[in-house]
Structure 1
Amino acid sequence: MTEKQIVVLGAGYAGLAAATRAGKRGQVTLIAPEQRILHRVRQHETAAGHPEHRPAVAEVLRGRAVRHIAARATGIDLAGRKITLDNGEVVAYDTLVHALGSRTAWHDVPGAAEHAYAAERAAGIAERLRTADRPGTVAVVGGGATGIELAAELAEAHPRWTVRIVAADQVGGWFSDKGRGHVHRVLRGLGVAIHEHTAVTAVDTEGLTTADGRIPADLVVWAASMEPHPLAGEAGLAVTPAGRAIVDDHLRSVSHPEVYVIGDAAEVTVPGTGTLRMGCATALPQGQYLGKVLAGRTDKPFAFRYIVQCLSLGRRDGLVQLIHGDDSMRPAVLTGRTGRLIKAAILKSVVMSLR
């Protein structure tokens, strides 16, 4: 009998964790254009001009039976079990792991894609700030974790710039009262202007148009929300209206059980926990679990419980929000230097956890 061909699409947290573990027992092909991991949880640091922490994919895969094809998947032939790549190559599979994750959602806001920097373009944001001929105004659109971390990091690293955070709802509105209060105090202490309940209706070269009027800006950073990569739906996998692939309790596609979908691209619902949100905190455990499944080390259903949510708030402060296993908030938080040190320790553990 020939060895089954396992192909993993995507070198994010979920894809790499699955590939490294499956590669301990058998041959795996990883398809992803990146030579270095994106490391989304540290993009706010890169955007502020701090040194990048992006290990090489080859280093993460070292010692594993994983072949990395540095190309982008452009199509999936589910019937023929083949992947088409942007370099013209076609790769066959017996088992496919779809881990292409998510991307910035522009929500059809006029001018947003043309004039705003997506959070993924962190290095471009840093370069724009570094080469500007004078200090100006940065408008960060989005009051979620990515927007908050970006606004705090940019304000601290570039105190001569005016930083504004613009959110359609509350900034940090999902946190407990203590957690949300701390986020607002730190942002204001760094000089960040907070615009809540302010929907952006257009972006142009001079700033934002909102439902409440104009917000001038020399640089717009878009961190409003993410959407799953569209390839799963385009290929014909069963997906939700939002485009996330529907999977069973072993993370297999409900329409094509030879395809596993993990990370932001998957709609994963765990009994007692609920439907998992997008993010490293959920993607990495899915990849670790699936790698064990593919290596024949477990056949149990995927299980997951939340522990904490945490934020970096510049170089000297942070927030660790204690939560219940279903992601609902507890009242207690850890802040200041303690919160920052805990978040820093978690960041350092991510790359090690990939292996």
Structure 2
Amino acid sequence: MSTSAPIRRVVVIGAGYAGVMAANRLRHLCPPDVEVMVVSPRATFVDRIRLHEHVATGRSAEVPLTAMLTPGIRHRLGRVQRIDAAGNRVLLDDGTTTDYDYLVYAVGSGAADARRASLNDLEAAHDVRERMRRLPPGATVTVVGGGATGIETAAEIADRRPLRVTLVTSGVVAPMLGPVARRVVRARLRRLRVGVLEHARVEAELERHLLLADGRRLASDLTIWSGSFAVPELAAESGLTVDRLGRLLVDERLASVAHPRIFGAGDAVAMPAERQAVLRMACATALPMGAHVAEMIAAEFAGGSAEPFSNRYIGLSMSLGRGHGVVQLTDGDGRPKRTVYVGLLAAAIKELTSRYALGSMPREARRAGSYRWKRGWEGEPRPRRSIMTAQLR
């Protein structure tokens, strides 16, 4: 009488930038008998950095997951309701459970308040597009938030739609940019006739207007919120160790500080404070994290080792409507340098960057190690190659 060996499995929760990259690299690096399973509630990948274009132009921001994942990866359609870290298993919304040897927590982020119109997920973007479609020419649209998402959204709508657009921020517009790039953003928004209110905090959203903290009322037929994000409560509700924002706390290897068989990547994790301070919520962070987590787990299976996670940024690009953009070069920690590209050249760089981010995942699916990033922290020596990274070269 023979008994079959138990299945070895890595479960990846989430099919965003971090989750898809992790799954693809895992499939290549892990032994053939290890099953890689991705659990997500939809059969498509959502290219979130294109959602502002989807709202303004109708451009699709979805790609079938079958075109993004390495053949052999199992996709389970559904939501994880709870993580049983002690039992090494997850409970799904259909009542079934799935065991795992290792877990990748890559659930991403969403709107801080799901009741407000936003571009934080595909359903919210669909809703905003439909509501905007019903607005008459000359109606007012207010975008709340002066970061990259807010600026790109305001510029795209003003450039593409016959609407009056206002950008409201509690601080300054584009605080992550240097003074030259910030002046470029302001000038472009003026050219698009986008009204800009800085140092203006929104106290409440009321019927067709906003109430500001200083008592002013701002007319708004449609308000789009882009100023704050929140992470799912799955980690906290599962009893995992999280920070005050509900993000899974991980060490420098991206392993859970309390559960060594759980690794995290993307917006929903928090590294030690000195590292987290320089990380931004972006695909430029999620993709390297996803690739690194895969190397860590593969090293665990192989009995080898992999260096701690590290990442150096190169720059930040932003679209400002058709044929316009701004690119701010930065140091590895994301601090602005003096070099800035603007106009058509910057728009082309932004477009290439966006295509590279999306294309990096199916390229990794076809060839292991095709995705690379600038490793090492600013001001620190570059890490030596590990067993796993050596296999990818």
TM range (shorter): over 0.9
Q: Which runs of 4+ in 1 moved over 6 A?
A: 270-273
Q: For the residues of structure 1 that align with 2:20 and 2:56, how far apart are their CA atoms?
A: 26
1:287 equivalent to 2:294? Answer no
CA–CA separation in structure 2 for the residues paired with 1:39 and 1:204: 31
Equivalents in 1 of 2:229, 2:275: separation in Å?
Answer: 25
Measure the CA separation in 2 of the matches of 1:12 and 1:81. 23
Matched with 1:328 is 335
What SS does the aligned partner of 1:203 have? strand
Alignment partner of 1:61 is 2:65: no
Pick the structure with greater CA Rg. 2
- Percent sequence identity is 37
Q: Are the equivalent residues in 1 in contact too, given 2:16–2:106 (CA < 8 A)?
A: yes
Which residue does the alignment assign to 1:114? 115
Q: Which residue of structure 2 lines up, in the alignment, with residue 202 of structure 1?
A: 204
Structure 1 320/133 Cα, relative in aligned 2: closer, same or farther at 3 Å?
closer
**Corresponding residue for 2:248?**
245
The offset of 1:140, in angstroms, is 0.5
Partner deviation per Cα, 1:264-318 (whole Å, 9 max, x = no partner) = 0111259789541211110111111222333348612112111101111112111
Q: Distance in 2 between matches of 1:248 and 1:21?
A: 21
Structure 1 residue 332 displacement after superposition: 1.7
CA offset digits 1:105-159 (Å, max 9, x no partner): 13xxxxxx5353444322222222223345411010111111011000010011x
Give the alignment's TM-score, normalised by structure 1: 0.92
What's the counterpart of residue 186 of structure 2? 184
Label 1:257 to 1:54 Cα distance change in 2 as closer, same or farther (>3 A): same
Higher mean displacement: 337-346 or 42-51: 42-51
The runs of 5 or more residues in structure 2 that have no matched partner are 365-393
Asked if residue 35 in structure 1 is aligned to residue 36 in structure 2, the reply is: no
1:306–1:84 CA distance, 2 compared to 1 (3 A): same
Using the alignment, how far apart are the partners of 2:273 and 2:24 within structure 1?
Answer: 24
CA contact (8 A) 2:13 2:19 kept: yes
Change (3 A) 1:317 1:269: farther
Taking the aligned partners of 2:140 and 2:243, their CA distance within structure 1 comes to 38
Matches within 5 A, 1:206-225: 206-212=208-214, 213-225=216-228
Equivalent position SS for 1:251 = coil
In structure 1, the partner of 2:317 is: 310
Structure 1 gaps, min length 5: 107-112
Partner of 1:52, secondary structure, is: coil
1:45 and 2:53 correspond: yes
Aligned residue among 1, 6, 11 for 2:10: 6
Matched residue of 2:321: which SS? coil
206-215 vs 185-194, greater mean Cα deviation: 206-215
Please say if residues 140 and 219 of structure 2, whose CA atoms lie closer than 8 Å, have aligned partners that are also in contact.
yes
Q: How many residues align?
A: 347
RMSD between aligned residues: 1.9
Q: C-alpha distance in 2, partners of 1:168/1:311?
A: 20
